[in-house]
A and B are shown apart, each in its own frame.
Chain A
Amino acid sequence: SAQKAIIRVIPFKLEPLTLEGVFASVAEVMPAEGKLLQFHPLSLCNTSEDEHTVPGFVSIVKLERPQRDLHPCLSLANKAKLAGERGAHAVLFDITDDESAADQLSKPRGLSHPVVLIWGHDAELLMGVVNNNREAHVKIEVKEMPAWPDYDVWI
């Protein structure tokens, strides 16, 4: 099963939130942190302009239902790659409305910045922070998998 991610969201002057997501295997599984910045899905296209934001942020992209974007300018894997090349230390995809996203981001591409999928209530809380705050910091950690108990089993 996919590696779980702990997402600590620290809004400016508010209580931190701890959410959970899953690392997508399109990229490396590794921790990352940075200032949280939302990106419109159409901002991650070759023809869209780079905002030249100071590198080192964490992107959050709320994906819309596929029927709303019939001719995507780039595949999700390439959008994740482009976000990294434009300065993102990590990319969070809210896939609540796009169930196909998980499959699209499951093929290893060796992207050097982590890509984390979030959905449902955790995603709603995260997008709530984005909507209601001016600034927030995000820490992404690799959730420790439970160690296997010691069984003396011989085949």
Chain B
Amino acid sequence: MFKRINAPKNGKVSFTFEGRSIDAAPGDTVASALMLAGETHFRDTPVSQSQRGPFCLMGVCFECLVEIDGVPNRQACMVAVREGMSVRRQKGAIGVEIE
């Protein structure tokens, strides 16, 4: 488990992950906020659907890809948290809906 060494001082930012409400600190990225909230499973791979989570936290490994407000393939470690944002796991390959 990851914990903050100090409680955040300047208020909080709330968003949801898979519908669960998460309280983050201003300055958090989506990845840091989720890790500090105990989440480790950010996506399933397109090849084998195996679980993955953040690896590098510096925008290089693309393991922390999530869907943010309906937009897939967002690097959770590169996006700052915003009040009310809706974050979902990225599940495997993105299909194209055919009617």
A and B form one complex: no
A interface, CB within 8 angstroms of B: none
Interface residues of B (CB under 8 A from A): none
